[in-house]
Structure 1
């Protein structure tokens, strides 16, 4: 292509020199992308998030075969081999340090809520000695609304443990109602005894 003698350029065509580098941190958790659990994964809508955040979203989702983009609300179906097989954002990866150019093979188990490094190659740089081999991303929601692995786990919990898992304001309200009920019952019983 010959240079333009009049130094004119198409205003609708972006100049590669004008392009800004991609955002190198996840828009959900603001962690820097890396080549392990924070690998930049691109959805069909072309928004990029780290693997860890997408795994956390998938564990809590009622639709485990798709990911709902938190920015544009578009659905991305998951590949047959699971969440880690979503496409990597190669543009973001190209901006990472040379030691992070190799993306590790990660396994995701939705049932246990774990991301796990499948294997670390012998040719991997020394940085791999510092990475964790697994990451807990939470427990999946059951169809009945309870957390945990089995349907019976909700029945086995104590009332105290259930209250501790609730947001603070709900726990406070439940405790207040319980105390008020006990107090009113005691007053009514005492009042009935005194009237006899």
Structure 2
């Protein structure tokens, strides 16, 4: 019987068939951006979730497992070069067992297919994009060693839309004031 602390028990259901969905986002694994990547602690998550974690991390050269907190150093060529979980890959449909070559551009918070012309849309995926934004880009120093902080921007609104919103708010406030004055004079 497996213990609750056993890393394998968290990724393989009791039937012996590995779980085919990411434990973070609950999306099914695939062979593009949701490729199952195995950390050194043997926990498996999709590439997209790991990229989202890495973009927000102050340690860009490692990934901290969300289950056991163990650190996994990233390969020299980056996050997409982490080992694929072959037990999960072998249980995907045959057409999904070929993994596309992906590049992770941390400074732009983007996953990108290296050769998008070779991506064949699968029936299960309907459309396959050649890139995926994984969060707001981090501001990193030019040396690339540490993150200096994440810039938070307010949503940009076109001036005409902002003007309309201000006018509507002023009309509502005016209407409420008129109602209050009319009820006091009655």
Query: 2:70 maps to which residue?
Result: 74
Q: Give the aligned length.
A: 136
> Following superposition of structure 1 onto structure 2, how do residues 114-193 of structure 1 map, counting pairs within 5 Å?
114-120=110-116, 122=118, 125-127=120-122, 130-142=127-139, 143-147=147-151, 161=154
1:85 paired residue among 81, 102, 126: 81
Q: How far did residue 93 of structure 1 move? A: 0.4
State which structure, 1 or 2, has the greater radius of gyration over its C-alpha atoms: 1
Q: How far did residue 146 of structure 1 move? A: 3.3
Query: 1:3 maps to which residue?
Result: none
Q: How far did residue 26 of structure 1 move? A: 0.2
Query: 2:52 maps to which residue?
Result: 56
- What's the secondary structure of 1:115's corresponding residue? strand
| Aligned CA-pair RMSD | 2.6
What is the alpha-carbon distance in structure 2 between the residues aligned to residue 27 and residue 47 of structure 1?
9
TM-score, normalising length: structure 1: 0.63
What is the alpha-carbon distance in structure 2 between the residues aligned to residue 74 and residue 126 of structure 1?
35
Residue 43 (structure 1) aligned with residue 27 (structure 2): no
Residue 34 (structure 1) aligned with residue 11 (structure 2): no
Q: How far did residue 121 of structure 1 move? A: 6.8
- What's the secondary structure of 2:20's corresponding residue? coil
Q: What does the per-residue CA deviation read over 1:109-132, in whole Å, with 9 as the maximum and x for residues that have no partner?
A: 00000000111575x655287201
In the TM superposition, structure 1's runs of 4+ consecutive aligned residues that sit over 4 Å from their partners are none
Q: What does the per-residue CA deviation read over 1:19-66, in whole Å, with 9 as the maximum and x for residues that have no partner?
A: 520000000000000000000000000000000000000000000000
What is the alpha-carbon distance in structure 2 between the residues aligned to residue 20 and residue 57 of structure 1?
28
Gaps of at least 5 residues in structure 2 are 3-13, 140-146, 156-186
